[in-house]
Amino acid sequence: MRVLQIASEAVPFAKTGGLADVAGALPAALQQLGCQTTLVLPAYRSVFGKGLPIEQTDLRFPVAVGTRSLEAAVFTCRLPDDGGQIFLIGNDHCFDRDSLYGTPEDYADNAERFIFFSRAALELAARQPEPFDIIHCHDWQTGLVPAYQKLLYNSWPTLGQARTVLTIHNMAYQGQFWHWDMLLTGFHWKYFNWQQMEFYGQLNMLKAGIVFADKLTTVSPTYAREIQAAPGGNGLEGVLAGRAADLVGIVNGIDTAAWNPRTDAHIPRHYGEDDVDDGKYTARVALAARLGHAAPDTRPLVAFVGRLAEQKGVGLILDLINRMAGSGLAHFMILGTGDPAVEQALRTVAASYPGTVDVVIGFDETLAHLIQAAADILLMPSQYEPCGLAQLYAFRYGTIPVVRATGGLVDTVIDTNDQTLADGTASGFVFEAFESAALEEAVRRAVAARGDHDRWRELVRRVMGQDWSWQASARRYREVYEQTLAAPPVAVADVE
Ligand code: ADP
Ligand code: GLC
């Protein structure tokens, strides 16, 4: 089976969040299962500064974006482990910029940039010697790919027979644009209707993907259910419920080579289940040094690593610190970047509790690993969470997550209580209500549990031994591909 993956970010090339981790690791896992995988990414400016063996190919071709023609320059990269073939689509006008999508404001021409990328990826695929069986795209940035495959490229011999799969990593980002951007897509205006590409007067790229893809997946079974109703569907719940038969939830795997305390190059001392205390202590010393503290704090370290977005419950975290920092029960460490108002509020709270609250604003891969190794408790009080990867990384590093019961967090974290301790399933602390008091109660439970050394040790050993590698998830994707290939393609409705 030949699989084309199209994504707007992937590790190690470009990353703003978990999508990059998934798109970076899934191809290699599929290769191991015998699927020949090709990954196509944008050649952002930043991909060239990382020392990766990226080479320019001779391949260049024009791509129509509205009335303009933009040239796609194709790069390739061979990585040491066999993750299949990788292509990067270059175009200076679209991708030679400071950030991936624009920050804090999105770039005004993101519609044009990702229309270009989606079409270029398909036209690149069409120029390959053999046709692809599956075209698998991710999130709104590539949401138009299924529509292109069905409406504009279906007579191309190398693309026409393919089936399309769209994975939804987050319903809150839909790629909604001014209706005139329809002109940039090259699609007939007749598709701009409420059953296909239009949503409240705007062009909605994720909706187009949901309507035109042959199969839909999202990143956990619970999130697959949540998005078929309000508020999880973010307005598209009806469209998703209409496709319930074609929608599956598959929990993400993690890259167990990149996130492994036994081999991690980002941490000062490697460790496993047997020497986790020493490993964590050494990480704490390194973290303290990095933050400019003379010595590490001996109190439980409660950490957060993630995007500073409403989704992540950053408001609850601020409340939590204000409620608990004065108690002296724990040390708090936050690493994140995002909403400028939240960044400022975090800086202020750190200044109010020196020695108890550390805040680092920025995107820092090494620090993310170091914090996972150093921390005792990881906070994920998400308002919603399609899958969440940070809690799975936490498990590997013997860090116990405190999570809200939503989306993939429900499917991956089991609350610690007498029952789950007895049956050996406990793996974290779970709370229900999206309220500061509920988070505080869960954190206090976790901190208290941390005080019982033997029990905590037992919990840590157990979570470290769990298997969240890609193997099982990649197998599920392959099954989905096989089912999709066995079924006829989804018909394009003629909407009056
Ligand atoms: P999401 O995709 O919603 O951001 P996930 O938990 O799936 O959430 O994945 C987040 C990924 O991004 C993790 O690999 C996490 O370590 C990383 N990450 C988020 N913020 C930062 C940051 N400021 N610095 C380093 N890594 C970060
Ligand atoms: C999204 C979600 C996150 C998920 C990630 C990878 O960014 O917010 O929950 O883990 O995608 O699928």
Ligand 2, residues at Cβ distance < 6 Å: 17-19, 22, 169-170, 219, 252, 385-389, 408
Which of 259, 348, 385, 368 lies closest to 304 in space, CA to CA? 368
Which ligand lies nearest to the CA atom of residue 252 in the structure?
2
Rounded Cα gap, residues 282 and 444, in angstroms: 25
Q: Which of 140, 380, 387, 391 to mutate to test the pocket of ligand 2 (most atoms within 8 A of CB)?
A: 387
Using CA atoms of 447, 262, 372, 223 in order, give the dihedral in degrees to the nearest 10: -100
**How many other CB atoms are there within 10 angstroms of residue 112's CB atom?**
20
Element (H, E) at 165: strand 163-168
Rounded Cα gap, residues 133 and 3, in angstroms: 6
Hey, whose CA ends up nearest to atom 5 of ligand 2? Answer: 18
Rounded Cα gap, residues 18 and 404, in angstroms: 18
3-state secondary structure of 423: coil
Which of 324, 321, 335 lies closest to 290 in space, CA to CA? 335
Rounded Cα gap, residues 89 and 217, in angstroms: 25
Instruction: Give the strand pairing for 54-65 and 68-77.
Output: antiparallel
Give the DSSP letter string of 325-338: GGGTS-EEEEEEEE
Copy the structure tokens of residue 292.
Answer: 């400019």
To which residue do tokens 């690593």 refer? 305
For residue 18, the CA-to-ligand 1 centroid distance in Å is: 6
**How many other CB atoms are there within 10 angstroms of residue 238's CB atom?**
11
390 lines ligand 1 (CB under 6 A): yes
17 lines ligand 1 (CB under 6 A): yes
pLDDT reported for residue 475: 98
pLDDT reported for residue 102: 96
pLDDT reported for residue 496: 75
Rounded Cα gap, residues 304 and 316, in angstroms: 12
Given a contact cutoff of 8 angstroms between Cβ atoms, the answer to whether 370 and 290 are in contact is: yes
198 strand-pairing partners: 203
74 strand-pairing partners: 89
3-state secondary structure of 88: strand
Grouped pLDDT means (10 residues each) for the chain, 496 residues: 98 95 96 97 97 97 97 94 93 97 93 98 95 97 98 91 97 98 98 98 98 98 98 98 98 95 98 97 97 93 96 97 95 96 97 96 96 98 98 98 98 96 96 98 98 95 96 97 97 88
Chain-centre distance of CA 194, in angstroms?
28
Could you tell me how many residues make up the chain?
496
Given a contact cutoff of 8 angstroms between Cβ atoms, the answer to whether 106 and 87 are in contact is: no
- E strands, 376-416, are 377-380, 400-404
Rounded Cα gap, residues 31 and 9, in angstroms: 19
Distances (CA, A) of 81 to 24, 31, 78: 12, 10, 9
Rounded Cα gap, residues 191 and 211, in angstroms: 11
pLDDT reported for residue 158: 87
Copy the structure tokens of residue 240.
Answer: 């998703």
Instruction: Report the alpha-carbon angle 307-313-315, nearest 5.
Output: 105
pTM: 0.96
Which of 266, 229, 272 lies closest to 247 in space, CA to CA? 229
For residue 457, the CA-to-ligand 1 centroid distance in Å is: 26
Which ligand lies nearest to the CA atom of residue 253 in the structure?
2
Given a contact cutoff of 8 angstroms between Cβ atoms, the answer to whether 185 and 138 are in contact is: no
Which ligand lies nearest to the CA atom of residue 22 in the structure?
2
